Amino acid sequence: MKLSDDLLKKFNEQITLELEASLVYRQLAIEADEQDLTGMAAWLRHQADEEIVHANKFIDHVVDRDNHAEIGAIRAPEVMRGLSPLAIFEASLAHEVKVSNAIRDLYRETEAAGDLDSRPLLNWFVDEQIEEEATVSEIVGRIKLIGHDGAGLLRLDAELGSRSVGTTEAD
């Protein structure tokens, strides 16, 4: 079933937002790297790659339904230089919340339009965003617990750097 023009526009906006999220994570990784927090930088780069996977899932859905996926204008990330590790992950959490809200809005739009074919994809994304927000929120909480303890921060950095590397292609 082909998407309506309105739903196609919404899906294309979500594709653009996912790619924008990838750039936000890349910029946050740069900020961590500049502080020699290479584990955090690697974790953030992995998140950036994951956002591309998410965009690809939306692109595949649009194309599989005989529509034209289109990337809109992507704004440069608005990330200040010299952010603390806490501020880096708070910015990450804020962006995840933004993406979650956009997915919920897209879900509501598809439901209102009676588009049952989008439900499996959007259910997956709702679950994924719950996990993403919880993970980043946990990191924020741990950084707050660490406070100004350099050794604790370096332990967390090492832990985040041990995350396995994936691919930008959907599973």
Helices 38-64 and 85-112: crossing angle in degrees, nearest 10, is 10
- Residue 63's contacts (CB-CB under 8 Å, 6 or more residues apart) are 69
**For position 17, what pLDDT does the model report?**
97
**For position 165, what pLDDT does the model report?**
66
- Over residues 136-171, the pLDDT tens digits come to 999 999 999 999 899 999 999 999 999 776 655 555
**For position 163, what pLDDT does the model report?**
75
**Is the separation of the CB atoms in 115 and 3 below 8 Å?**
yes
**For position 167, what pLDDT does the model report?**
55
Q: Which of 131, 133, 137, 111 is nearest to 122 (CA)?
A: 111
**For position 166, what pLDDT does the model report?**
61
- Residue 169's contacts (CB-CB under 8 Å, 6 or more residues apart) are 53, 56
Q: What is the pTM of this model?
A: 0.91
**For position 81, what pLDDT does the model report?**
85
**For position 78, what pLDDT does the model report?**
80
- The stretches in the chain having pLDDT less than 70 are 165-171
**Angle, alpha carbons 37-83-166 (nearest 5°):** 45
